[in-house]
Amino acid sequence: MTLLDWAIVAAFLLISVWLGLALRRIGSASLEAYFVSNRALGWWLAGTSMAATAFSSDTPLLVTGMVRRRGVWGVWEVWALGISTMLAVFVFARLWKRAGVTTEVELVERRYSGPAAAFLRGFKAVYWGLLYNAYIIGVWPVTGMSKVLQETTGFSRLEATLGCVALGTLYTSLSGLWGVILTDAFQFVWAMVGAVILAVAAVQAVGGLDALAAGLRDTGRLDVIPPVPVEGPWLDSPFGWLLGLLLIQWWAWKNTDGGGVIVQRLVSCKNERHAMGSVLWFNVAHYCVRSWPWVLTALASAMLLPDAVLTETVNGAAFVDHERAYPRLIMTVLPAGLRGVLVASFFAAFLSTISTQLNWGASYLLHDGYRRFVRPRASEQHYLRVAAALTWVLALGGTGVALTTHSIGASFTWILNLTAGIGPVYLLRWWWWRINPWSEIAAMGASLPVLLARPHVFAALGWPMAQLPGLLFMVGATALIWLPVTLLTAPVDRKTLSRFYAVVHPPGWWRPVADQAVTRDAWGGPMALWGVGTVALLATTVGPIQLLVGPRGVGAAVCALGAAGWLVVWRGWRRLGPPR
């Protein structure tokens, strides 16, 4: 890093901090401003903020590790989740907006009733807002940014971790969600520019797209779909792994109904139409726009950086840290000046994510924990001071986790598996009136023990420890606990269910309650648009990559399929009508 590089990084950081400070008065005017931006966001700003949050400092490293270890098809671990995020566009965006909540956790006492609902709300505030969120902050954005700084600046792990966390926490605690969202827009653009610059430079370093395709053609890394096994067991094959993602993973995870950060943006929108548009734009930006530069860079790194140069010793054993290939390319293929742009782009990705995670976690701890159970009648200024303090508590927890984490990819897979047993209950609470607070309590309580028991059960039965059977086990074993608990405990009282249905109008099995309602929404059209939109989304995600390095005829056909799908979605979107 030269003086010019450091000047560029410093300029970016000064602009980000200045934006945070400039928005301090707006963001700190009230809790509505601090946590949900006065519910005044337009679709493009909310959607860009979602995309910026998902565009973290760890995500390019995560994708690089997936591609280097498996090939392009390895990124389906991320892409497959687009099935559920598209469902959020046409179904859950409307439901969350109608619910009128400030946080996802607040839904508990809108959907359920009694002491069990109150306990569940407080438990989820701590579980998701503090424990889960501190873990996420540490293993993803902080670990990612730390690796980048270690590779590009020579900082130690401790110096890199403490420096980036302190910066991100500073302006988050000052400006609230308004500051987070407005700086997200600026940071997303900078981060995308940096990703494209590195992709172009990396491809040029290997001799261009044709040379890249020729050099990797016989390695299997260019395959978008893993090979189907002709002989032998297919459950533990790469294709079985893909089936597990496409058939189960997308609905069996924590955010199957939108979840956390996305919900915070949805409820901050002006109306249902803007809420739906925000998630639609997020999907396009998150999957279609961002994927190709990261995949190209990862493929080029496989030719430029052999495994040997990425090998390090962890706990006495050799470990190939494929995730370091991405930041190492910054120092390998870019000249002075552009290196500073790339490091600043990583700061952009990092700040957009950690600021959101801190604000979101603080909203749970304050709104659903402290305000609900500890100090329900304090002043707004008191709550704002507590919220600012809670962001530092979360940052401290994330720092501790980051200092003990080595693999972003392993943490990503672990989280997906841990929450696989919880997702079905979160989905069904909208679709089945019989779900009650004990359903969620049982699923959350069973998930970790089931995950820890899984390898022992598989070893005893001689089953392969593979994605598809592993997910089936998580979903099935957890359901064997929460489903009987649901049926053996009392249903939610009819008055609460009727009030919830009258406001939200959810789809699914609500006949005992819906028969008493005045109107019922038709969900056939939105569900059909979800199916077509999902095909369009995935086609326009993998199609451009095929056009660049795969069979170009196949890429053109896939892109055409995507374009046709988007045309159908657009026509259907216009018929959905005005917001409720």
Provide the 3-class DSSP secondary structure of residue 229.
coil
Q: Would you state the pLDDT for residue 78?
A: 94
d(CA 27, CA 175): 5
Q: Is the pLDDT of residue 484 over 90?
A: yes
Is the predicted pLDDT of residue 49 greater than 90, yes or no? no
Encoded tokens for 506: 């959810």
**Alpha-carbon distance 307 to 321, whole Å?**
8
Cα distance between residue 337 and residue 93, in whole Å: 42
Which carries the bigger pLDDT value, residue 22 or residue 302? 302
Percent of the chain past pLDDT 90, that is, above it, reads: 64
Are the CB atoms for 151 and 327 separated by under 8 Å?
yes
Alpha helices in 230-289 (DSSP H): 238-244, 260-266, 272-283
pLDDT recorded at residue 183: 76
Q: What is the mean pLDDT of residues 406-420?
A: 90
Q: How many CA atoms lie within 13 A of 386 on its CB side?
A: 18
Helix axes 338-363, 380-402, angle to 10 degrees: 120
Q: Could you tell me the CA-to-CA distances from 2 to 6, 9, 149, 191, 339 in Å, in that order?
A: 6, 11, 14, 20, 9
Amino acid type, 247: L
d(CA 131, CA 154): 31
Q: What is the pLDDT of residues 423-476, one digit of tens each?
A: 999 999 999 999 999 999 999 999 999 999 999 999 998 887 888 889 999 999
Cα 202 to Cα 493: distance, rounded to the nearest angstrom = 60
Decide if pLDDT at 291 tops 90.
yes
pLDDT value at position 431? 95
Phi then psi for residue 167, to 5 deg, are -65, -45
pLDDT at 23 over 80: no
Residue 58 · residue 205 · CB < 8 Å: no
571, with CB counted inside 10 A (0-12, 13-18, 19+), is exposed
Inform me whether the pLDDT recorded for 282 exceeds 90. yes
Q: Are 152 and 347 in contact (CB under 8 A)?
A: no
pLDDT given at position 179: 66
The model's pLDDT over 352-381, given as tens digits with 9 standing for 90+, comes to 888 888 888 988 999 999 999 999 989 888
The most confident of the ranges 19-23, 90-94, 153-157, 172-176 is 90-94
Mean pLDDT of the chain: 89
- State what percent of residues in the chain have pLDDT above 70: 93
Q: At residue 38, does pLDDT exceed 80?
A: no
Three-state SS across 134-172? HHHHHHHHHHHHHHHHHHHHCCCHHHHHHHHHHHHHHHH
The reported pTM is 0.92
Q: Structure tokens of 417?
A: 């598996």
| Average pLDDT over every residue of 42-71 | 91
pLDDT class for 264, splitting at 50, 70, 90? Answer: confident
Residue range 117-143, pLDDT digits in tens? 999 999 999 999 999 999 999 999 999
- Looking at per-residue pLDDT, the higher value among 279 and 523 belongs to 279
Residue type, 176: G
Task: Residue 274: count other Cβ atoms within 10 Å of its Cβ.
Answer: 22
Q: What pLDDT, in 10s, does the model give residues 206-217?
A: 999 999 999 998
| Structure-block tokens of residue 169 | 């926490």
Q: 515 phi and psi, to 5 degrees? A: -60, -25
The whole-angstrom separation of Cα 441 and Cα 126 is 13
**pLDDT tens digits, 507-551:** 989 988 876 655 667 788 899 999 999 999 999 999 999 999 988
pLDDT of residue 359: 83
The phi and psi torsions of 335 (rounded to 5 degrees) equal: -85, 170
Phi, psi for residue 198 in degrees, rounded to 5: -70, -35
Over residues 110-123, the mean pLDDT reads: 96
pLDDT for 176: 60
Q: Mind listing the pLDDT tens digit for each residue in 72-86?
A: 999 999 999 999 999
Task: Tell me which of 513 and 151 has the higher pLDDT.
Answer: 151
Nearest-CA neighbor of 142 among 342, 417, 411?
Answer: 411
Q: In angstroms, rounded to a whole number, what is the distance separating the alpha carbons of residues 181 and 265?
A: 9
Vertex 333, ends 328 and 335: CA angle to 5°?
110
Per-residue pLDDT, 29: 56
The encoded tokens of residue 207 equal 């001799």
For residue 19, name the pLDDT band (cuts at 50, 70, 90).
Answer: confident
Confidence at residue 514, expressed as pLDDT on a 0 to 100 scale: 76
pLDDT for position 182: 73
pLDDT of residue 27: 54
Task: Count CB-CB contacts under 10 A for residue 438.
Answer: 18
What is the residue whose two structure tokens read 């998630």? 279
d(CA 289, CA 303): 24
Answer whether residue 203 shows pLDDT above 90.
yes
